[in-house]
């Protein structure tokens, strides 16, 4: 078998010396790579610790009898993160610190709802506030009608 280039002869000691130099260079490269990886892992670990320490949302505390609007994920959309505020409800029972039984005022259905899916319904006299109108208009993707001028029956 012919090899390109000049043929060089080497003693066993020279071959062992060349192998030792290559092994030492590979070992230094591995040590440097491990140092870089440990620095990156330490940063990731610190970042995850900061994420755990981050103050989250202050969840409201409700009591039985409070009027609330609840978010129902499955009634409208199959996407978990996109919800709509549903009809007004009243809290009937505290199941745990974060889970409540609510009774929907229009249908009298009972549902278990997590506190993160509840919002205070602040209107005790049932007057519609501008904040509620803006919220409903944003979430229900509907329109606000000021007055009905005319209506006709279309069969």
Global pTM reads 0.42
Q: CB of 121 within 8 A of CB of 67?
A: yes
Q: Where are the beta strands (DSSP E) in 27-82?
A: 67-72
The residue ranges of every structural domain in the chain are 18-47, 67-140
Q: Please tell me the class of the 67-140 domain.
A: mainly beta
Q: Is 85 left (phi over 0), alpha (psi -120 to 50) or beta?
A: beta
pLDDT, tens digit (0-9, with 9 covering 90-100), for 8-38? 788 999 999 999 999 999 999 999 999 999 9
How far, in Å, CA of 86 to CA of 109, rounded? 13
How far, in Å, CA of 71 to CA of 94, rounded? 17
Q: Extract the tokens encoding 127.
A: 């007057």
pLDDT, tens digit (0-9, with 9 covering 90-100), for 76-117? 556 666 667 777 889 999 988 889 999 988 888 898 988 888
């Amino acid at each position: 078998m012919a090899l390109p280039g000049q043929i060089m002869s080497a003693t066993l000691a020279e071959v062992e010396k060349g192998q030792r130099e290559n092994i030492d260079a590979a070992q230094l490269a591995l040590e440097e790579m491990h140092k870089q990886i440990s620095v990156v892992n330490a940063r990731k670990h610190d970042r995850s610790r900061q994420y755990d320490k981050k103050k989250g949302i202050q969840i409201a505390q409700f009591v039985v009898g409070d009027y609330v609007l609840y978010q129902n994920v499955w009634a409208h959309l199959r996407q978990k993160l996109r919800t709509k505020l549903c009809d007004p409800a009243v809290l009937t029972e505290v199941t745990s610190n974060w889970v409540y039984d609510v009774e929907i005022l229009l249908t009298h259905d009972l549902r278990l709802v997590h506190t993160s899916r509840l919002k205070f319904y602040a209107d005790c006299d049932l007057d519609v506030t501008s904040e509620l109108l803006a919220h409903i208009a944003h979430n229900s993707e509907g329109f606000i009608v000021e007055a009905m001028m005319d209506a006709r029956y279309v069969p």
